[in-house]
Amino acid sequence: MSSLEISSSCFNQEMKLPLSPPLVEASAFEPSRREMDEVGEKPKEIIKFTAKKLSVDEVSQFVISPLCGAVSLFVGTTRNNFEGKKVISLEYEAYLPMAENEVRKICGEIRQKWPVKHIAVFHRLGLVPVSEASIIIAVSSAHRAASLEAVNYAIDNLKAKVPIWKKEMYEESSSSWKRNKECFWATND
């Protein structure tokens, strides 16, 4: 028998699949309040401003939960250009007490709008070379819609409300401080 004949004979065999268990009332499988408390996790908010290089793996690990089927991430990186100028790095500064407070407020707003489990917001300070992450936001939730919408809300509001400033360092030895156009305190030029 050739290998072709062996392969085709395998497809003609009847496959036996296990039968599904009989349907049972859903309430029989619902855990009690005590069981939920024992296996439940308290929601976490991890907020970090650091001069160290950010790691997507590290940040995503903070929000992973066996109770969640979705982890959504936003990773903001330094691009190599702005308005025709070659950017070599960005430099970030923040007023930390206010920045941390504003990020906590944003986390609270997210929890009011979406059923999310854990939130992590890491922002790099100091010099951030091209292609490296300056911000990573991670959110976990039972389903993807909540975490995706929460991450989008987080970055939009962070740029609008959190006192973080960036300076673009250009190849021709010049630099320019940039304001976020979304900032509520920025004036229209």
Please give the average per-residue pLDDT across 113-130, as a whole number.
Answer: 98
Residue 171 lies in a domain: yes
Flag whether 55 is in a domain: yes
In a domain, 162, yes or no: yes
Residue 97 sits in which domain range? Answer: 43-178
Residue 6 resides in a domain: no
How far is 128 from 138, CA to CA, in rounded Å?
Answer: 20
Residue 42 assigned as binding residue: no
Q: Is 34 domain-assigned?
A: no
172 pLDDT tier (thresholds 50, 70, 90): confident
pLDDT of residue 184: 58
Number of domains in the chain: 1
Does 144 belong to an annotated binding site? yes
Q: Is 123 annotated as a binding residue?
A: no
Does residue 48 register a pLDDT over 50? yes
Q: Is residue 18 part of a domain?
A: no
Q: What is the pLDDT of residue 41?
A: 85
Among the ranges given (10-14, 24-28, 124-128), the one the predictor scored with the smallest mean pLDDT? 24-28
Residue 79 lies in a domain: yes
When pLDDT is averaged across residues 165-170 and rounded to a whole number, the result is: 93
CATH number at residue 143: 3.90.1170.40
Q: Is 149 annotated as a binding residue?
A: no
159 labelled ligand-binding? yes
pLDDT band with cut points at 50, 70 and 90 for residue 55: very high
Please check the confidence at residue 40 and state whether its pLDDT lies above 90: no
In this prediction, residue 181 carries a pLDDT of 62
The predicted pLDDT at position 171 comes to: 86
> Which distant-in-sequence residues (6+ apart) come within 8 Å of 35 by Cβ?
none
167 is in an annotated binding site: yes
